[in-house]
Amino acid sequence: MPADKPTEQSAAVTESASDTCDDSNVLTSATSDLGEGQLRLTSRSIRSFVIRNGRTTPAQTDAMERLLPTFGLTYSDQPIDLEVQFGRTAPTVLEIGFGNGDVFTHIAQQEPQRNVIGVEVHTAGVGHALLAIEQKQLNHARIIQHDALEVLHHMLPAESIEKVLLLFPDPWHKKRHHKRRIVQKDFLDGVCRVLKPTGILHCATDWAEYGEWMIEHLENDSRFQNIVGPSMASERPEWRPLTRFEARGQRLGHSVLDLIYKKV
């Protein structure tokens, strides 16, 4: 698995967990390394991520304690006021499942005129991203450590997001686990809810069959239109850096699909 993302997914699952997980025993609260009193990460029974007790470095643990109160947005089941949270009105980009935050913080660094929100459930990735936020002084970046589906359906205001990024989500490749894939109707419902008119949904995967799955779901949803033509992949945009995970996949002969759709 790549160094720049804790799993293939940035929406957060471990590949090894996919062999053993069961709907009845997947944790719905923060892992033990988060300590007591943390909010539940989801109320859904079937989810696209599995939380396992993982290790965080001392620096990541320090970042969680010291920086998350400033750069974190506590989950709310009611829409929040983005202008209040950022202290300004600006176009907002949302990355779902940012892994270690390499792309998330790169976008924030390259586009200071935009607000950037990242959603990730894994503590090590959140801590890593917080350290980058501090180092690069990204005061217009915020992190939500919660289930992305609930964030899309409840927390973010309707038609408040300019672009949603879903880069290299876990493919849940075994057929019995396809129900856990994040790209489903309820995900597209949530994305459509938060996107502004003509807003962009950008998905990327190096798992060919999952790419076909994404295309099928998006092409069958009349609310979205492929920006280069029906069922077609786009070239990797210049703003999206080549991740170490992606480079490794290319060395192994994996083709990467960038699928970019706009809300219509």
Q: Which residues are catalytic?
A: 170
Q: Report the 10 Å Cβ neighbour count for 84.
A: 8
Residue type, 191: V
The residues facing 261 across adjacent strands are 201, 226
Give residues with Cβ within 8 angstroms of 138, minimum separation 6: 105, 108, 109, 116, 132
Task: List 14's β-bridge partners, or say none.
Answer: none
Strand partners, 224: 263
DSSP 8-state class, residue 197:
E
Neighbour tally for 62: CB within 10 Å: 14
Residue type, 196: K
Residue 238 exposed, middle or buried by CB count within 10 Å (0-12, 13-18, 19+)? exposed
Q: What is the enclosing helix (H) or strand (E) of 163?
A: strand 161-167
Q: How much is the CA Rg of the chain, to the nearest whole Å?
A: 17
Beta-carbon count within 10 A of 211 CB: 20
Helices (H) and strands (E) in the chain, counts: 9, 7
